[in-house]
Amino acid sequence: ACARIGAPHSVVFGGFSSNALADRINDAEAKVLITADAGYRRGEPSTLKPAADVALADTSSIEHVVVVDRCGTAPEMTEDRDHWWHDLMADASTDCPAEEMDSEDLLYLLYTSGTTG
């Protein structure tokens, strides 16, 4: 989906600390963070959004946070910054033409284990 709209992306392991997430956001100068309220670990919800909020306190580039309601944990949402995925998708068009890109444009940024760039 990111490639289709011409948006480079970076996937970060949900178990990383808030500091590690902030380091990667800052290095990439990310503008949007997509997360979930929580994920399942050993069959129980494990919160993700609160850790993202802690990370965002140490970043300046994020303009929007898109939150998928996966576990129904009702995380705190910051007005004008945080948006529920289901609300954004409610009126979204299914028509999404591919963005024309150059061969040298960034597709994704992949950090290897233990690195921040």
The pLDDT tens digits along the chain (117 residues) read 999 999 999 999 998 999 999 999 999 999 999 999 999 999 999 999 999 999 999 999 999 999 999 999 999 999 999 999 999 999 999 999 999 999 999 999 998 876 555
**Cβ-count burial of 68 within 10 angstroms (0-12 exposed, 13-18 middle, 19+ buried)?**
middle
- Contact indicator for 5, 105 with CB cutoff of 8 Å: no
pLDDT at 115: 56
Q: Is residue 106 part of a domain?
A: no
Contacts of 105 (CB under 8 A, 6+ apart): 6, 8
Q: Is residue 82 part of a domain?
A: yes
Q: Is residue 45 part of a domain?
A: yes
Structural domains counted in the chain? 1
Range of the domain at 61: 17-90
Q: Is residue 51 part of a domain?
A: yes
